[in-house]
């Protein structure tokens, strides 16, 4: 099977994870809504963990202090975007679907696009590295996609519409993979900034939209349950990132080929590649 087929198959499979919310169809609407605030709390924790433990450190490793400025720009941009949605779609009336749903779709779309680029870059090293990278992405996408779906439902979307929109957002990984395959060198310098902006979006959604919603339900029991769900969201994402790092650290390795070399480094894996032909870009570097 060709490298391109591996790339395409991996990103399509990753995108299908966005349909994890289909299990809610068997639960029933009333029962789903009874647990919804717990899922929103879980989503808050997973978004914050993805931003502070995954996206921001990745961006800082490449662009240093510029990452914090890009995160701030992301927070401001998502605030402006939400205000625009309020003004354009809601006016003085109550929105049927709250703006946070669309904010979440945009932020997750950026994140998925970058995942697609990373998957493409990994397979262009060699297939085993591509498979490991895809598994790493799947580990943190499963809980995050579940949280994303919960946010859409809580924002007022119908279940089937939420599944559709979440899947469309996830397919940005396919676009990222295609562009990464053909134009990796051109995209390389933009990836850290996009990671930081996506992190800013996740932070804004969690702190400005989701957490205030949790404060509206103030019984002692709900406080404990929601706090536990939020912490669980953080821990699950942390565990998935730790599992990926542990998997990489079981023995240092180095793979050399005519086109690429891969060095295992402390704290992460760096992919360095040069292409002599094929129009796939001049170089690629993914941490």
Report the percent of the chain where pLDDT is more than 90: 20
Q: Is 281 left (phi over 0), alpha (psi -120 to 50) or beta?
A: left
Return the pLDDT at 266: 36
- The torsion of the CA quartet 168, 174, 180, 182, rounded to 10 degrees, works out to -120
The string of pLDDT tens digits covering residues 124-183 is: 878 887 887 787 778 667 777 777 888 888 888 888 888 899 899 999 999 999 998 998
pTM of the model: 0.68
Per-residue pLDDT, averaged over 64-74, amounts to 95
The rounded radius of gyration (Å) of the Cα atoms in the chain is 19
Instruction: Name the range with the highest mean pLDDT among 6-15, 86-95, 265-274.
Output: 6-15
Q: Enter the tokens of residue 212.
A: 């205030």
Residue 24: the pLDDT is 62
What does the mean pLDDT of the chain come to? Answer: 77
pLDDT of residue 230: 93
Q: Is the pLDDT score of 16 beyond 50?
A: yes
Nearby residues of 174 by Cβ (< 8 Å), 6 or more positions away = 8, 11, 12, 15, 116
pLDDT at 51 over 70: yes
Task: Give the chain as a 3 state SS string.
Answer: CCHHHHHHHHHHHHHHHHHHHHHHHHCCHHHHHHHHHHHHHHHHHHHHHHHHHHHHHHHHHHHCCHHHHHHHHHHHHHHHHHHHHHHHHHCCCCCCCCCHHHHHHHHHHHHHHHHHHHHHHHHHHCHHHHHHHHHHHHHHHHHHHHHHHHHHHHCCCCHHHHHHHHHHHHCHHHHHHHHHHHHHHHHHHHHHHHHHHHHHHHHHHHHHHHHHHHCCCCCHHHHHHHHHHHHHHHHHHHHHHHHHHHHHHCCCCEEECCCEEEEEECCEEEEEEECCCCCCCCEEEEC
Q: What average pLDDT does the segment 38-62 reach?
A: 88
Whether residue 223 is predicted with pLDDT greater than 90 in this model: the reply is no
Half-sphere exposure of 31 (CA within 13 A, CB side): 6
> How many other C-beta atoms lie within 10 A of the C-beta of residue 97?
18
CA distance 39 to 148: 9
Q: What is the pLDDT of residue 178?
A: 94
Mean pLDDT calculated for residue range 240-249:
59
* pLDDT category of residue 55 using cuts at 50, 70 and 90: confident
> pLDDT at residue 193 above 60?
yes
Lowest model confidence (mean pLDDT) among 43-57, 77-91, 108-122, 250-264: 250-264
For residues 22 and 159, what is the distance between their CA atoms, to the nearest angstrom? 8
Instruction: Answer yes or no: are the C-beta atoms of 46 and 206 closer than 8 Å.
Output: no
| Lowest mean pLDDT segment, chosen from 24-28, 161-165, 175-179, 185-189 | 24-28
* pLDDT for the residue numbered 244: 58
Distances (CA, A) of 205 to 54, 107, 118, 260, 284: 16, 9, 24, 39, 31
């Amino acid at each position: 099977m060709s490298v391109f087929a591996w790339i395409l198959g991996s990103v399509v499979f990753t995108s299908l994870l966005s349909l994890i919310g289909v299990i809610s169809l068997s639960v029933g609407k009333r029962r789903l809504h009874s647990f919804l605030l717990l899922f929103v709390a879980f989503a808050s924790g997973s978004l914050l963990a993805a931003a502070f433990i995954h996206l921001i450190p990745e961006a800082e490793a490449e662009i240093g202090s510029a990452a914090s400025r890009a995160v701030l720009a992301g927070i401001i941009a998502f605030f402006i975007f939400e205000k625009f949605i309020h003004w354009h779609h809601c006016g003085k009336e109550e929105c049927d679907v709250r703006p946070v749903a669309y904010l979440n779709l945009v932020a997750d779309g950026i994140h998925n696009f970058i995942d697609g680029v990373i998957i493409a870059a990994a397979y262009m090293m060699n297939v085993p590295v591509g498979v490991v990278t895809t598994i790493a992405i799947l580990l943190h996408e499963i809980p995050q996609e579940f949280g994303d779906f919960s946010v859409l439902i809580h924002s007022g979307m119908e279940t089937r519409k939420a599944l559709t929109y979440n899947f469309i957002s996830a397919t940005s990984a396919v676009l990222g993979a295609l562009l990464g395959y053909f134009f990796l060198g051109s995209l390389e310098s933009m990836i850290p900034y996009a990671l930081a902006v996506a992190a800013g979006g996740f932070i804004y959604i969690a702190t400005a939209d989701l957490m205030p919603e949790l404060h509206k339900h103030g019984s002692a029991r709900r406080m404990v349950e929601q706090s536990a769900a939020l912490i669980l969201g953080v821990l699950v994402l942390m565990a998935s990132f730790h599992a990926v790092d542990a998997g990489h650290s079981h023995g240092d390795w180095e793979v050399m080929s005519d086109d690429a070399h891969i060095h295992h480094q402390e704290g992460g894996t760096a992919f360095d590649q040069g292409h002599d032909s094929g129009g796939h870009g001049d170089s690629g570097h993914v941490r």
